[in-house]
Structure 1
């Protein structure tokens, strides 16, 4: 499914509807009833789904990290805030490395993973997932340097002598097997990937276009290569879906989360994502 951009006027209206619909959620509880807290974990480095900022200029898009400096921002934050309001809970957000999110959930350091995570078969052996909160067809690109040897690459074979890497713990690492490139060490996050490319340690890394475009805005010395046709990198069908991770035995919470998601229309979800993309483009 192709990403659809809505006109700015429609975007403003949709965002307004989204957040006005959230208002008054606390009124469902009496003033004497103790509110519970849900703790959400995310990476804070996966624009436009989530990133870390010190700016408070867009109050709707941000939420302070618990026990850490700065604010979480992005689509996942909008979704976390909306869900907390729908189920009548206070919200905390913790910044956790990607490869530590499932461990944090299993150890009960967090209650939910809202981090652009796909419900793969491997992950479902450890945790459960909500209904999808965003569905799209990702486009994969290879991020390279403008001054490198691979800006004009059009086939997989063109990367035969390249050192291409990806983020560990993601399906991008599996995609590397589709390239005849040299084996490079997988890195923990996109900050490390960008630094390694910038310093020349690697020749490129795999990313989804929506994420890579934000990297390019921050690093104009980068270049995006997208292989097409028969040369295109094949993406597993499950990777077009993002869902919320929960512990397997949290059945009641999963029911509540799914009920909250059911109240958020596709139009609202697109508006929230577009809101995040526009904000990310201004970083």
Structure 2
């Protein structure tokens, strides 16, 4: 009986060691993968968008896509971009669908509960309020939005701005920025709140939209960071931060911004696929 018990214990130990070895190998395999999967929401030009390339296929472009490519290149990996509505990005990161998320995302308190973040890689223009040009004279201060319908993207700090700073406004959460703009153009909402560069892009490409004077009261922008799963299980942050430091030393953001601006006439509205 003792021999049997000893044999059983030995077999269990071997199985345990094999399992540990397999887990270590699996972890090593995930961290050594030659592909870096980036989650984003490609409805947010100039940071992330899609456009038709010279070969006729749809391609990803934008400041954040260039940042992701730079990070992947510095790590010796191939970048794969996955498109999803903004409010699904972090839950999908937690599930392991992506290695990183780059989507003009600030590292705010709630997000820090489910993800870890890199050093900042870019600070945008201050947030802005887009309104119809014909109504611009009505929105000189934030108080002028009381009783008005103001849209902002679900799960973003811009929705917090509507709720916290536009006293008396009726917040309208929408998943896609393209939907927000269409609602504004069609008169279904009175205004939308977006990041500064995004507001500027839409105001420059649509003569019926302008940035409201009241935008100056919204305060400064918060820097954008790269998100990884909580605890950085794949050990990506050191390499990401090293790439960001080098990228900033080389002033690469200037060329990334220029490349995105060069495509502003061809970027297209797309609807991201959401998890079922």
TM-score range, shorter chain: 0.7 to 0.9
1:254 lines up with 2:242 in the alignment: no
Task: Decide whether the 8 Å contact of 1:145 with 1:151 is kept in 2.
Answer: no
Deviation at 1:267, TM superposition (A): 4.7
Task: Decide whether the 8 Å contact of 2:39 with 2:102 is kept in 1.
Answer: yes
- Separation in structure 2 between the aligned mates of residue 270 and residue 78 of structure 1, nearest angstrom: 9
The counterpart of 1:243, out of the listed 212, 225, 230, is 225
1:161 lines up with 2:124 in the alignment: no
- Separation in structure 2 between the aligned mates of residue 86 and residue 209 of structure 1, nearest angstrom: 29
Deviation at 1:277, TM superposition (A): 4.5
Deviation at 1:207, TM superposition (A): 1.7
- Separation in structure 1 between the aligned mates of residue 133 and residue 179 of structure 2, nearest angstrom: 19
Query: Which residues of structure 1 form unaligned runs of 5+?
Result: 1-33, 58-63
1:229-275 CA deviation, whole Å, 9 max, x = no partner? Answer: 7xx1235xxx4211110012325211121122222234523323432
Q: Which residue of 2 aligns with 1:130?
A: 118
Q: Which residue of 2 aligns with 1:199?
A: 186
Task: Decide whether the 8 Å contact of 1:35 with 1:88 is kept in 2.
Answer: no
Q: Which residue of 1 aligns with 2:20?
A: none
Deviation at 1:173, TM superposition (A): 1.0
1:159-182 CA deviation, whole Å, 9 max, x = no partner? Answer: 223222211111111111312343
Query: Which residues of structure 2 form unaligned runs of 5+?
Result: 1-31, 267-276
1:233 lines up with 2:218 in the alignment: yes
1:78 lines up with 2:62 in the alignment: no
SS in 2 for 1:93: strand
SS in 2 for 1:220: coil
Task: Decide whether the 8 Å contact of 2:152 with 2:192 is kept in 1.
Answer: yes
Task: Decide whether the 8 Å contact of 1:47 with 1:280 is kept in 2.
Answer: no
Summarize the Cα distance change of 1:181–1:198 in structure 2 as closer, same or farther, 3 Å threshold.
Answer: farther
The counterpart of 1:44, out of the listed 42, 45, 49, is 42
Task: Decide whether the 8 Å contact of 2:87 with 2:175 is kept in 1.
Answer: yes
- Separation in structure 1 between the aligned mates of residue 215 and residue 154 of structure 2, nearest angstrom: 24
Summarize the Cα distance change of 1:70–1:173 in structure 2 as closer, same or farther, 3 Å threshold.
Answer: same
The counterpart of 1:270, out of the listed 246, 253, 272, is 253
Task: Decide whether the 8 Å contact of 1:48 with 1:273 is kept in 2.
Answer: no
> Following superposition of structure 1 onto structure 2, how do residues 3-14 of structure 1 map, counting pairs within 5 Å?
none
- Separation in structure 1 between the aligned mates of residue 237 and residue 153 of structure 2, nearest angstrom: 28
- TM-score, normalised with respect to structure 1: 0.75
Q: Which runs of 4+ in 1 moved over 6 A?
A: none
Task: Decide whether the 8 Å contact of 1:141 with 1:207 is kept in 2.
Answer: yes
Name the count of aligned residue pairs. 233
Larger Rg: 2
Q: Which residue of 1 aligns with 2:90?
A: 102
Summarize the Cα distance change of 1:196–1:126 in structure 2 as closer, same or farther, 3 Å threshold.
Answer: same
- Separation in structure 1 between the aligned mates of residue 196 and residue 93 of structure 2, nearest angstrom: 28
- Separation in structure 2 between the aligned mates of residue 276 and residue 206 of structure 1, nearest angstrom: 25
RMSD: 2.3
